[in-house]
């Protein structure tokens, strides 16, 4: 069930802080910037701090040290040498874009926010900074987003290993309020009478109630949500792991925001 944590008593406007912080992992891609907008809305509604994370990819920097390294233009297909200097310039330019996007996203809002910049492996840095009470918001797609709907490798690791709830956003499908779907067990072709998992009240600000989804396999999940256009999907981490083991790309094809809880 969705718990109700609305303020009680003397009419104070200070909500119960069931969310410690909202973390947004940014890389200046369309998906991460869409996730930033969702993170700003959530942090504003819950009156908690927004922490934007930008990680300078150490693995990519190491690759640039090889004399044979090159990069291929996503649109032109042309190759050009990848040098440490050119990569540092690219990272600096990307950081500027992230700073600008953050400034625009919070403009006009009374919201505590900051940008944390670090250098290392992206998933490791994000996992280190996230705490159990946080909500980590990130974009769904990786660098392959131009060609097919795939879950990026960094996103995959974070949703499987993060110590907190993870909200996975999809820029290609505009968010519309609707029910939060959850996986219900099926017995004799009937959904068993069972309560949905208890989820924190902050989800009530994003979704309208909860709706059981009587599926247990990746293919059935994809078919059930193929034409979904509102709401989201709630997955326990164990359910997520089972789905990805069956079909490693099914999450990338679900056209809804996905909330992963421990």
Give the mean model confidence (pLDDT) for residues 195-206. 68
**Res. 131 pLDDT band, cuts 50 70 90:** very high
Give the mean model confidence (pLDDT) for residues 158-164. 94
Which token pair is 109?
């809002």
From the list 129, 130, 101, 109, the residue with the least C-alpha distance to 34 is 101
How far is it, in rounded angstroms, from Cα 87 to Cα 173? 32
**Res. 27 pLDDT band, cuts 50 70 90:** confident
Residues in the chain: 262
Is the pLDDT assigned to residue 171 strictly greater than 90? no
**pLDDT > 70 in the chain, percent:** 72
Average pLDDT, the chain: 79
Give the pLDDT of residue 109: 93
How far is it, in rounded angstroms, from Cα 148 to Cα 143? 10
DSSP 49: E
Q: 236-247 pLDDT, tens per residue?
A: 999 999 999 999
Give the pLDDT of residue 10: 39
Which token pair is 30?
């369309």
Buried-state track 94-121, b at ≥16 Cβ within 10 A, e below 16: bbeebbebbeebbeeeebebebeeeeeb
Give the pLDDT of residue 186: 57
Least confident of 16-30, 133-147, 248-262: 133-147
Is the pLDDT assigned to residue 111 strictly greater than 60? yes
**pLDDT > 90 in the chain, percent:** 38
> Is-contact 8 123, C-beta < 8 A?
no
Is the pLDDT assigned to residue 14 strictly greater than 60? no
Least confident of 78-87, 169-178, 197-206: 78-87
Q: In sequence order, what are the beta bridge partners of 238?
A: none
Give the pLDDT of residue 159: 93
Q: 248-259 pLDDT, tens per residue?
A: 889 888 989 999
What does each C-alpha distance from 91 to 6, 27, 37, 256 come to in angstroms?
42, 10, 22, 30
How far is it, in rounded angstroms, from Cα 6 to Cα 241? 33
Q: How far is the first Cα of the chain from the last one, in angstroms, to the nearest whole number? A: 16
Is the pLDDT assigned to residue 63 strictly greater than 50? yes
> Is-contact 237 245, C-beta < 8 A?
no
pTM over 0.75: yes
Q: What are the structural domains of the chain?
A: 21-53+91-261 (3.40.50.12370)
Q: 223-233 pLDDT, tens per residue?
A: 999 988 889 99
Strand, coil or helix: 174 = coil
Give the mean model confidence (pLDDT) for residues 188-214. 68
Q: Which run of H or of E encompasses 251?
A: helix 250-253
Give the pLDDT of residue 220: 93
How far is it, in rounded angstroms, from Cα 142 to Cα 151? 6
From the list 224, 221, 231, the residue with the least C-alpha distance to 173 is 231
């Amino acid at each position: 069930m969705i718990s109700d944590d609305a303020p009680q008593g003397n009419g104070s406007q200070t909500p119960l802080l069931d969310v410690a912080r909202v973390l947004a992992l940014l890389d200046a891609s369309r998906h991460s910037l869409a996730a930033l907008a969702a993170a700003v809305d959530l942090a504003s509604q819950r009156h908690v701090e927004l922490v934007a994370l930008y990680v300078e990819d150490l693995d990519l920097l190491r690759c640039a040290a090889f004399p044979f390294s090159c990069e291929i233009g996503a649109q032109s297909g042309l190759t050009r040498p990848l040098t440490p200097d050119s990569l540092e310039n690219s990272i600096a330019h990307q950081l500027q874009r992230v700073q600008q996007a953050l400034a625009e996203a919070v403009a006009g809002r009374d919201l505590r926010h900051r940008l944390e910049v670090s250098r290392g492996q992206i998933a490791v840095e994000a996992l280190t900074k996230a705490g159990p009470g946080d909500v980590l918001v990130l974009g769904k797609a990786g660098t392959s987003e131009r060609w097919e709907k795939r879950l990026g490798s960094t996103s995959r690791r974070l949703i499987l290993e993060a110590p907190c709830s993870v909200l996975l956003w999809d820029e290609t499908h505009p968010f519309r309020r609707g029910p939060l779907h959850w996986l219900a067990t099926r017995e004799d072709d009937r959904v068993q009478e069972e309560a949905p998992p208890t989820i924190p009240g902050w989800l009530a600000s994003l979704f309208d109630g909860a709706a059981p989804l009587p599926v247990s396999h990746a293919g059935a999940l994809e078919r059930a949500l193929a034409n979904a256009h509102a709401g989201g999907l709630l997955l326990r981490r164990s359910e997520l792991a089972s789905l990805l083991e069956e079909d490693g790309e099914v999450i990338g094809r679900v056209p809804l925001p996905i909330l992963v809880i421990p």
